[in-house]
Structure 1
Amino acid sequence: MTIMNEAAVSEAEKEIEHLMTLHPKGFDMSLDRITRLLEVLGNPHLKLPPVIHIAGTNGKGSATAFCRALLEAGGYSVHVDTSPHLVNWHERYRIGVKGGRGQLVSDADLADALRRVGKANAGQQITVFEILTAVSFLLFSEKPADAVILEVGMGGRFDSTNVVPNPAVSVIMPIALDHQAYLGDRVELIAAEKAGIMKRGRPVVVGYQEFEAARDVLVSTAERLGCPASVYGQDFTAHEEFGRLVYQDEFGLADLPLPKLPGRHQYANAAAAIRAVKAAGFTVTDAIMEKAMTTVEWPARLQKLTEGDLLRHAPEGSEIWIDGGHNPSGGEVIAEAMVAFEERQPRPLYIIAGMINTKDPVGYFRAFTDIAEHVFTARIRGSDAALDPVVLAHSAYDAGLVAEPAGSIVEALQEITRRQVPGSPPPRILIGGSLYFAGNALADNGTPPT
């Protein structure tokens, strides 16, 4: 595995650090500043290949990964914009390669684009996320590709990615409570914000929705805008049958391998991606779908560590899983996967968690109340919003779990090792609670995304 060294990332990181001293990191719900900046840059967002625009509370990253796998399996080149990154800023920008696997942007190209965007902004008020979005439009408009997959940062209606006027398809993945301070405290309000990426007359794919109120808002918005809509459970669906994934829509039925990404929730995510790529006008054969299910990759989403430094600190034979899920609904999905693993191979479950202060830690931990043996909490490195481990441990306790703070992920693993009773089964260890914390784990393990 190729790991980007410090010298290789230094120029782009210096540019980003400089921008952070000039502009706020947070969100400012308006499109005025990004629109002004893009005009100075020559409106690169109007010069993109066909765009698959993906929003949602949960599952949008997985849908992005499945869409990329499907397109690359079909021989298409695809640019991919995602956020946040796990270890290196470069992860946010994957540049398409014709007939092959897209590559993370080079440090030279990223540093150059950052300088050009910073110069174009000329010191005017803007957020760092808006600058990073402008960078993606600049990079993707200047390098040929067959498609762009554009992941919404937060919300939809006022997200800085929402300046693309005619996406090939808009995709709304599962909606739940998250970012309530910005998006509202009811799922229908959050759904209305996510639905803001729909464009009049353009195709829409609505993924699985746990909440009927959210689904109703999405469907009614699509109808109002005259968008051809495909809705999970109505126009397409997927389920497991005899150890295979069965996908079905009006074009027929496909018998596929189970996705490489573990967890039953990935069946619906895969289905939404298949439908989205079809709706965007790309060819999707059974052979393409089969290849995509076996090649899809998405770090820190129920990622099992098979190599790296962290395994050395855990009891011999341990399973270590990393997942960036960070809200109550995400916790429920991860807990369901842990239960399924337990049914196949019983092991004691330990959780090592780090979270930021905009989340609902008690709600997240509550999903693990009856299945986790012990929780260790640690601080997220590199985040001003990181929760204090003692406070986070109290949240786990309030959810009915036995918990204690630790100095780091490694210290938590070492404590689990000290508690291991000879002859007892090695543990299953989940490191999660935040994508930022998952990124810390991958960095500690020496296996950042490539």
Structure 2
Amino acid sequence: MAEIQPGIVNTGQNGGGEYLMPGLIELHTDNLERCVSPRPGIKWPLTAAVSYHDRDLISSGITTVCDAIAIGDIKPNSVRLKDFGSMIETIFERQKSGKLLTNHRLHLRCEISFEGICNFAEQYAANPLLSLMSLMDHTPGQRQFVSIEKYKEYYMGKYGISEAEMKNFIGYRQDIQKQYAAKNRQGLVDIAKEHKISLASHDDATINHVEEAVENGAVLSEFPTTLTAAKAAHNYGLKVLMGAPTLVLGGSHSGNVSAIELVEQNLVDVISSDYVPRSLLQSVFLISHKTNKPVYETMKLVTTNPAKTINLFEDRGSLEVGKCADLITVYDDGIVPHLTSVVVNGFRVA
């Protein structure tokens, strides 16, 4: 951005009451997985899927994204085991060739109970676009899935696992967690420290989880599942990230703490669109309406704060001279905000 002078412009445009905001910054979206596999058993051509994903983001006002690519999974032959490498490479190739509109960076979602997770993470540790690593543990009976019944409901629906198969499946998940999780956690922490990668915890449920994250050097607590964990994270100086879809829907599909409850207690620093890109912009206005905070304050949850979390605030996250001219204009009708333009590096792209 070259110049900002109130009342003094060479050319201009009357916004007619619209909001002018920095481009949105997304730290955790697995929208690409949906584009690659729009239905169970369907695999879309990867280059087209990346293009669809990029257009989903830019048409949602997201000008910088950390694509959350999951490495390690609990189901053989899943997209997360077979295709994560080609997904990453396709994104980088398309971005390098100038074919993508959003600025794409990398967030490695690391399932710590997966045997080979450290080897996979090491492959990308030196990549300059790697901005964030999160340590995930989706073992049944803790964190996101304290309720075994909720775990059954989720995975039977997602993977088509039968009721009869679930008992063995749950036992298997718990066994491999005991075998690999502690060693892999330490290995991933060492990789993050060596390469100066921002680290996030995931689904913290207890004070012990938060203290473990602090000891690991985490700067972000993603989707804490309880009020206790969210308060502890804030007390220890971690930024707290919650999902925009839970704000729009009014609750968590896993029965965990309400995101709006944490927002109302000023315990949320960053909002993520998670699996619905358009929910990110909507969350800014939803929070403003519910808390009576001005939009210029609530928008920091999707601009300034995420930029600071991954050390990008020097060149984006606010409208200031010398920063990237990434900005959006928005009309709010009181129900759903409507994006009216998107500008990236000074050029209108949507």
Normalising by the residue count of structure 1, what TM-score does the alignment of the two structures yield?
Answer: 0.29
Q: Which has the higher contact order (CA 8 A, sep 6+)?
A: 2
Task: State which structure, 1 or 2, has the greater radius of gyration over its C-alpha atoms.
Answer: 1
